[in-house]
């Protein structure tokens, strides 16, 4: 199966900077300088969606998404953005449940479940992020936290694995490894991904990405691990060179 390599640019880059990186990526993909068994995803800030989508237009196995959205079509939701607006900007995927939205913006499991279902019902693809804090891990709560995050989001979904397989991915991102330079060790990644696949049960065909301090130097060994179907990359995806190195790992 193709490995999925996703870039989450978070709140970084002006439009022209995002466009420049996307153009370099687009050129590399068109020139077949990336392996054929990679699917590439880019999640730029909203304002950069149109130039990034344009720069990557027509690139094979390349998907563009928004980092967030509000689950209503339109209306009095000051500061929010809808799926039709995202679609109009050229993107068809969304990140849901990223730890920064769970822990800084206080999104609950229930709201994340609502957004997951809403996006899938409206024809969007979803990368659903899950992961435990250091406190939860040290308190022996890894299993409980992942089980709760997965079941709350997946239980309301109609079970149609063939459709879901193309439109839903899980990203396991231990909160303590995000942006900290502390990548989870092989043993921890193997254990957590095995657990996630088990907890997914009838949904275990869904791809499970690893995220948290992925760099060009550790990407190949992470991708080689059982049950790691791809990578969600923050900091190291900001420069085209390092993101391409990860794609080529
Ligand atoms: P990082 O972020 O690669 O900078 O640790 C990963 C993420 O938050 O998706």
Give Cα 217 to chain centroid, integer Å. Answer: 20
Report the run of H or E that residue 188 belongs to, with start and end. helix 186-200
Strand boundaries in 97-173, DSSP class E: 125-130, 168-172
**Catalytic residue check, 122:** no
To 10 degrees, the CA torsion angle through 193, 225, 160, 99? Answer: 50
Is 173 assigned a catalytic role?
yes
Return the SS3 of 66.
strand
Taking CA atoms only, the protein residue closest to ligand 1 atom 2 is: 234
Residue recorded with tokens 């996703």: 6
| Sequential pLDDT tens for the chain (249 residues) | 799 999 999 999 999 999 999 999 999 999 999 999 999 999 999 999 999 999 999 999 999 999 999 999 999 999 999 999 999 999 999 999 999 999 999 999 999 999 999 999 999 999 999 999 999 999 999 999 999 999 999 999 976 777 888 899 999 999 999 888 888 899 999 999 999 999 999 899 999 999 999 999 999 999 999 999 999 999 999 999 999 999 999
Domain boundaries along the sequence of the chain? 3-247
Ligand 1 binding pocket, CB closer than 6 Å: 8, 173, 178-179, 211-214, 232-236
Which residue's CA is the closest to the ligand 1 atom numbered 1?
234
Spatial CA neighbour of 207 closest among 125, 91, 122: 125
CATH topology of domain 3-247: TIM Barrel (3.20.20)
The number of the ligand 1 atom at minimal distance from the alpha carbon of 179 is: 5
pTM (2 d.p.) = 0.97
Spell out the residues 6+ positions from residue 225 whose beta carbon is closer than 8 angstroms to its own: 186, 189, 190, 193, 210
């Amino acid at each position: 199966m193709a490995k999925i390599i996703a870039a989450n640019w978070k709140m970084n880059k002006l439009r022209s900077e995002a466009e420049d990186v996307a153009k370099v990526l687009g050129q590399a993909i068109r020139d077949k300088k990336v392996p054929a068994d990679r699917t590439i995803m880019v999640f730029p800030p909203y304002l950069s969606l149109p130039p990034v989508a344009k720069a990557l237009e027509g690139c094979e196995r390349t998907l563009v998404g928004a980092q967030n959205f509000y689950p209503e079509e339109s209306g009095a939701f000051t500061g929010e953005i809808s799926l039709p607006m995202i679609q109009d900007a050229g993107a068809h995927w969304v990140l849901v449940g990223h730890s920064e939205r769970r822990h800084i913006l206080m999104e609950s499991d229930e709201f994340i479940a609502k957004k997951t279902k809403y996006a899938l019902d409206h024809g969007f693809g979803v990368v659903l992020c899950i992961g435990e804090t250091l406190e939860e891990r040290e308190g022996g709560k890894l299993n409980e936290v992942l089980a709760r995050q997965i079941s709350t989001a997946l239980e309301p979904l109609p079970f149609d694995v063939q459709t879901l397989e193309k439109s839903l991915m899980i990203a396991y991102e231990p909160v303590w490894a995000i942006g900290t330079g502390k990548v989870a060790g092989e043993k921890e990644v193997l254990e957590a991904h095995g657990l996630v696949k088990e907890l997914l049960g009838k949904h275990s065909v869904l791809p499970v990405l690893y995220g948290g301090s992925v760099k060009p130097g550790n990407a190949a060994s992470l991708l080689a691990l059982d049950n790691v179907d791809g990578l969600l990359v923050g900091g190291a995806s900001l420069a085209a060179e390092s993101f391409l190195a990860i794609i080529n790992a």
